[in-house]
């Protein structure tokens, strides 16, 4: 199967999944579930590529495992958080403004502002899991081993960060305080840093092949999105306005890559 045929089939599968999820969200009037599909959708892309591509079997299996471990973990966590915390207020506010100020229906606002933007982003970000399974040569090498280690480290790093944050929020004594303990002492976004490591690692596995090398746009887009666009900036703006002491936390703590906190 050619690269373009594989990508075309994957794109069709992804669009079908997003349209199905959109139809479900129209009934629930809540699009928060799309966050959990961010992880599950990349697993779908890895699985379809594994079934369709004719690359080296060891590399295909390694990429499938790495993408699935990351995606199932993230998708399950986001699904639990949605069911435990309720609708994401960012989506509620964004769709509410579109309906009030532009006169859009919920269907139009959710499609244009959520699903039509996240689908192509997901497709591009997970290019390493798709293109890395195309070439039959070379066999796995040192770069793939390093990539697997980096990806597993990233998944573990964000898992620990999420767990620490959940425990922090569940303690009534921490009400109104800033989470600056554990991994959060060294980076303001251990979950985002872990995501980036996981996909840069998968890209390293894919980069041993000539086709997979071109998928570098995926982790680049993900890193920029998390650090500069819809990730850290949207969260930190709100936290600075509403959480006393957060500005001081920002001043002393690394924004993305973990590092020792600055002294006062």
> Which residues in 62-93 are b (16+ Cβ under 10 Å) and which e?
bbbebbbbbbebbbebbbebbeeeeebeebee
Mean pLDDT rounded to a whole number for the chain: 94
Identify the weakest region by mean pLDDT among 58-72, 130-144, 228-242.
Answer: 228-242
Q: Give the per-residue pLDDT at 64.
A: 98
List C-alpha distances in Å: 22 to 29, 110, 111, 213, 242: 10, 8, 7, 33, 32
- Lookup: tokens for 45: 């892309």
> Residue 96's pLDDT band (boundaries 50, 70, 90)?
very high
pTM of the model: 0.95
Backbone dihedral angles phi then psi of residue 30, each to the nearest 5 degrees: -150, 125
Beta carbons within 10 angstroms of residue 200's beta carbon: 21
- Lookup: tokens for 215: 């998928």
Residues 20-31 pLDDT 10s: 999 999 999 999
Q: Where are the domains of the chain?
A: 3-252
Residue 35 has pLDDT above 80, yes or no: yes
Residues 41-92 pLDDT 10s: 999 999 999 999 999 999 999 999 999 999 999 999 999 999 888 898 889 9
CA–CA separation, 87 and 80 (whole Å): 12
Q: Give the per-residue pLDDT at 251.
A: 92
Residues 193-223 pLDDT 10s: 999 999 999 999 999 999 999 999 999 999 9
Q: Give the per-residue pLDDT at 264.
A: 64
């Amino acid at each position: 199967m050619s690269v373009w045929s594989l990508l075309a089939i994957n794109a069709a599968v992804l669009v079908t999944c997003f349209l199905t999820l959109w139809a479900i969200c129209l009934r629930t009037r809540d699009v928060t579930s799309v966050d959990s599909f961010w992880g599950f959708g990349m697993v779908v892309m890895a699985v379809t590529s594994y079934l369709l591509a004719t690359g080296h079997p060891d590399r295909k299996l390694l990429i499938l495992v790495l993408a699935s471990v990351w995606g199932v973990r993230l998708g399950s966590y986001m699904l639990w958080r949605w069911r435990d915390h309720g609708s994401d207020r960012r989506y509620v506010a964004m769709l509410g403004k579109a309906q009030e100020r532009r006169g859009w229906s919920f269907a139009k606002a959710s499609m244009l502002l959520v699903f039509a933007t996240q689908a192509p982003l997901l497709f591009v970000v997970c290019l390493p899991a798709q293109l890395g399974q195309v070439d039959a040569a070379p066999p796995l090498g040192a770069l793939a081993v390093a990539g697997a280690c980096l990806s597993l480290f990233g998944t573990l790093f964000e898992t620990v960060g999420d767990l620490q944050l959940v425990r922090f929020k569940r303690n009534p004594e921490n009400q109104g305080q800033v989470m600056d303990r554990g991994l959060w002492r060294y980076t303001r976004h251990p979950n985002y840093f872990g995501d980036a490591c996981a996909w840069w690692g998968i890209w390293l596995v894919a980069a041993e092949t000539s086709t997979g090398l071109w998928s570098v746009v995926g982790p680049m887009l993900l890193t920029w999105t998390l650090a500069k666009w819809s990730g850290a900036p949207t969260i930190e703006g709100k936290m600075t306005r509403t959480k006393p002491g957060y500005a001081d936390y920002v001043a002393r703590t690394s924004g993305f890559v973990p590092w020792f906190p600055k002294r006062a």
